[in-house]
Each structure stands twice: as structure tokens, then as C-alpha cells.
Amino acid sequence: MKIVSVHEGTVPISSSIRNAWIDFSAMDCSIVAVVSDVIRDGRPVVGYGFNSNGRYSAGDILRRRVIPRLLDAPADAVVTDDGSNIDPIRAWDFMMRNEKPGGHGERSVAVGVVDMALFDLAAKIAGQPLYRFLSDRYGDGEPDDSVFVYAAGGYYAPGKGLRELQDEMKGFLDLGYRVVKMKIGGASLKEDLERIEAVLEVLGGDGSRLAVDVNGRFDLTTALEYGRAIEPYGLFWYEEVGDPLDYALNATLSEHYRGPIATGENLFSLPDARNLVRYAGMRPDRDFIQVDPALSYGLTEYLRIQDMLRQHGWSSRRCVPHGGHQFSLHIAAALKLGGNESYPGEFQPTGGFADDAVVRDSQVGLTDTPGIGFEGKAAFYQVLRELHD
């Protein structure tokens, strides 16, 4: 068994929306197809990956460093002991050969793309949906049947007023979501409070069903000011309030803001996640860690992060990955995480779950399609197939 070829490309996820920090008008992401020599139904078994949303494509790193190392690895060095399947964790070691520690940015994105494709490939070769494949090997063998998901939206956009924001949130509720998330920090405090209250009106005044996301925009003074203003609402969480590496800001905020804080989507490695729980004042009884496996050197590194969190007294249920995609959905079910983000209407064609996925009471089930199940997301699967067909 061996990897025959690896194909890399870029797909746009352009949009007119913006958060408090960036707009998505020129955003794209990397996609990868890993072709094996295993033949099923007359065709080679292929694993697919992409790098989640919010980070640009990492094609140069993929082409110059990550993919050549994988293809140069001895065939028997990246398979299981019995040679019956690809071993993504062994392959990861080759992709990271000759890389210095630190600098967890676009490199972690590039490795994460291929790591996702390798896990998709391994689960397909095993004939299992990824969540069962992972649960059998890295979990307790009894994955969750469904996963909590919340609908992320509420972006700033041209011509989007309070009524349009309310209509968007009503649409999420109609789709079966009970918890929704909106952006703040891209307007004045007064305007953002009006926006929050407009959404709360749609939610019947229940703040526990609304999360707000700052996307790392605030300094400490602003973080505390907003915290004092929104704490009475009893929100689901207050997310990514300051710079992701400003652990002191987060620690000070946690001393003053009693509600749940969520962060970690812009931390891309085990050392960064360890520093978060050591120095950022994160509280295991109420806060959430949002590391996105696709952006963080892949599931291989995410498994190490989960081991570290357990050692520091954190439950896997306090982890809700960023990204809103199928890969994290499988991981959430397999490792019994607290849930997964969902983007019902944004970041296409990559974002979202299978075309026939149904959300009921903010829960979504898993399919029995082998691998991640990109084949059940027709528009995206067509793009992926074009990489290698």
C-alpha cells in the first residue's frame, strides 16, 4: 500500500461579509487530494482535505515542503504495522521533517490540510465513517450519535441593519438551531448593544442562546468595558476578545467577567494551547477552547492537545472547535467534544456539513459514508474531484 500522488489547489471563499478585524472579499483556502494505490469499484481511493476558513491558502508551503516530504517518505514508513492502511500520524512526522519549533502560522495550515486528507483516506480504506474510525483508535469505541452545533453568523455587511440581522437569526432557528452567534466589535458599543438586543428579541430574551464574537479586536480597556455592558445578558459566551497570544488580557478579563469566555481558534499548536490553559486564566468549569484541528497541524496535533488538556483537568466537553466543517464534526463525535461550530450560509463551497444533514434542536447526526463524507457535499466534491480526475 502506498500514496501514488498528491494534488494541491486553491478555492475561493470570497464574500462581502466582515467581522471586527477582516473582510472576506479576497479570502481563499487550500484543497488537497491524496491518491492511494488501493482500488475500490475500479477507482483509486482518494483522501481529501482543506484548511478551514479564516486563513488564506498555503500553496507555496504545500508545494515546496510538505507534499515533497510526504512523497519522498518510504512507502512502508507511513503505513500501519500490518501494512493494511495509511498511518496519518507516521506520515505527519515526515511532513514536519527539518522544521524548527515555533512559527505556528501558515505552516500549521499547510500540514493540517494534508493531515485531514490522510485521515479521510485512512477511514475510507478501513471502510468506516471517520468518527467511528477515530473512536475505535483514539476514543472509547462509543462515539456520540449526534453533536451539538450552533449557527455562526451575524456578520457586518453593506446594507445589513437590525431587521436584516433579525431575519438572519430567524432563519437559523427555522433550520433547527437553538443557539446562534453574532459578531461584535466592528461598530460602537452603543450600536453593538442595539444589535445584541435585536437578536435577543428573536430569541425570546434568552441570552443563554446567544454567543458574541470579537475576533480578537479589543484591547484590555475595551474588553472590560464591553464585558461590563454584556454581562447582564447572561450570554452563551464572550469569544476571542483580545489578541490570541495576549494571555494576560484574557486572564484579567476572566477575573472581572463572570460569564463563559471562549477562545483558541487562532492558536495553532500544542505549546500555544498549553500556554493558554497555564497563563490565560481559563476556567475549566465554564470556559470553552476553540482550537480548529484543520488549522492546527491537523488531528495528529489535536490529539496531543486533548491529552494535554486532560492532564490540566479539562473535560473534552469544554472544547468546541472553530470552523464549521465536517472534519471537526467527526472529531467532536469521536472524542466526545462539547460541540462544533456551523456556518449555514457562509464560506461556500467548503463550509457546512453534508447536503442532507438535518439539524434538530441544535443537534446534527453523523452519516455512515466512509471517511469525512465530502462526497455528500455535491458542489465541494466536484471541486475536489477536479484536482485529480
**pLDDT band at residue 20 under the 50/70/90 scheme:** low
Q: What is the pLDDT of residues 357-389, one digit of tens each?
A: 999 999 999 989 999 999 999 999 999 999 998
The candidate with the shortest Cα–Cα distance to 152, out of 350, 339, 324, is 324
Residue 14 has pLDDT above 80, yes or no: no
Q: What is the pLDDT of residues 247-306, one digit of tens each?
A: 999 999 999 999 999 999 999 999 999 999 999 999 999 999 999 999 999 999 999 999
Q: How many CB atoms lie within 10 A of CB 309?
A: 21
- Provide, rounded to the nearest whole percent, the portion of the chain with pLDDT above 90: 88
* Whether residues 86 and 150 fall in one domain: no
Q: What pLDDT was estimated at residue 323? A: 87
Annotated catalytic residue: which of 7, 181, 322, 377? Answer: 322
* Whether residues 224 and 84 fall in one domain: no
| Structural domain includes residue 77 | yes
* Whether residues 336 and 189 fall in one domain: yes
**pLDDT band at residue 316 under the 50/70/90 scheme:** very high
* In the block, residue with C-alpha cell 447526526: 365
Per-residue pLDDT, averaged over 175-179, amounts to: 98
Question: Beta partners for 238?
Answer: 212, 261
Residue 165 has pLDDT above 90, yes or no: yes
Distances (CA, A) of 105 to 77, 213, 237: 27, 21, 26
* Whether residues 201 and 340 fall in one domain: yes
Between residues 67 and 367, the one the model is more confident about: 67
Residue 120 has pLDDT above 90, yes or no: yes
How many Cα atoms are found within 13 Å in the side-chain-facing hemisphere of 108? 26
Q: Please work out, in degrees rounded to the nearest 5, the angle formed at the alpha carbon of residue 288 by the alpha carbons of 235 and 372.
A: 115
CB 273 within 8 A of CB 267: yes
Please measure the distance between the N-terminal and C-terminal CA atoms of the chain and give it in whole angstroms. 21
CB 365 within 8 A of CB 23: no
Between residues 107 and 344, the one the model is more confident about: 107
Mean of the per-residue pLDDT values of the chain: 95
How is the beta sheet containing 43-50 ordered, strand by strand?
A: 3-12, 28-40, 43-50
| Structural domain includes residue 345 | yes
Q: What pLDDT was estimated at residue 16? A: 63
Residues in the chain: 389
Domain that holds residue 29: 3-127
Residue 9 has pLDDT above 90, yes or no: yes
Q: What pLDDT was estimated at residue 368? A: 93
Residue 182 has pLDDT above 90, yes or no: yes
| Structural domain includes residue 133 | no
190 is an active site residue: no
Q: What pLDDT was estimated at residue 107? A: 96
Name the pTM for this structure.
0.95
Range with lowest mean pLDDT among 45-49, 105-109, 148-152: 105-109
CA–CA dist 256, 269 (Å, integer): 28
* Whether residues 221 and 293 fall in one domain: yes
Q: What pLDDT was estimated at residue 24? A: 67
DSSP characters for 93-152?
HHHTTTPPS---SHHHHHHHHHHHHHHHHHHHHHTSBHHHHHHHHHS-S---SEEEEEEE
CA–CA dist 44, 321 (Å, integer): 31
Q: What is the pLDDT of residues 206-252, one digit of tens each?
A: 999 999 999 999 999 999 999 999 999 999 999 999 999 999 999 99
* Whether residues 175 and 107 fall in one domain: no
Per-residue pLDDT, averaged over 149-170, amounts to: 95
Q: How many domains does the structure of the chain reveal? A: 2
CATH label of the domain that carries residue 34? 3.30.390.10
| Structural domain includes residue 347 | yes
* Whether residues 64 and 105 fall in one domain: yes
Q: Is 116 left (phi over 0), alpha (psi -120 to 50) or beta?
A: alpha
Distant-in-sequence, close-in-space partners of 297: CB < 8 Å, separation ≥ 6: 92, 96, 104, 108, 111, 112, 115, 268, 269
CA–CA dist 24, 113 (Å, integer): 20
Q: What pLDDT was estimated at residue 18? A: 65
322 is an active site residue: yes
* Whether residues 189 and 261 fall in one domain: yes
Q: What pLDDT was estimated at residue 90? A: 98
Q: What is the pLDDT of residues 348-364, one digit of tens each?
A: 788 889 999 999 999 99
* Whether residues 145 and 173 fall in one domain: yes
Annotated catalytic residue: which of 104, 181, 183, 330? Answer: 183
CATH label of the domain that carries residue 203? 3.20.20.120
Residue 22 has pLDDT above 70, yes or no: no
Q: What is the pLDDT of residues 96-118, one digit of tens each?
A: 999 999 888 899 999 999 999 99
* Whether residues 205 and 280 fall in one domain: yes
Helix pair angle (326-335, 298-311), 10° resolution: 40
* Whether residues 222 and 364 fall in one domain: yes
CA–CA dist 209, 234 (Å, integer): 9
- Provide, rounded to the nearest whole percent, the portion of the chain with pLDDT above 70: 97
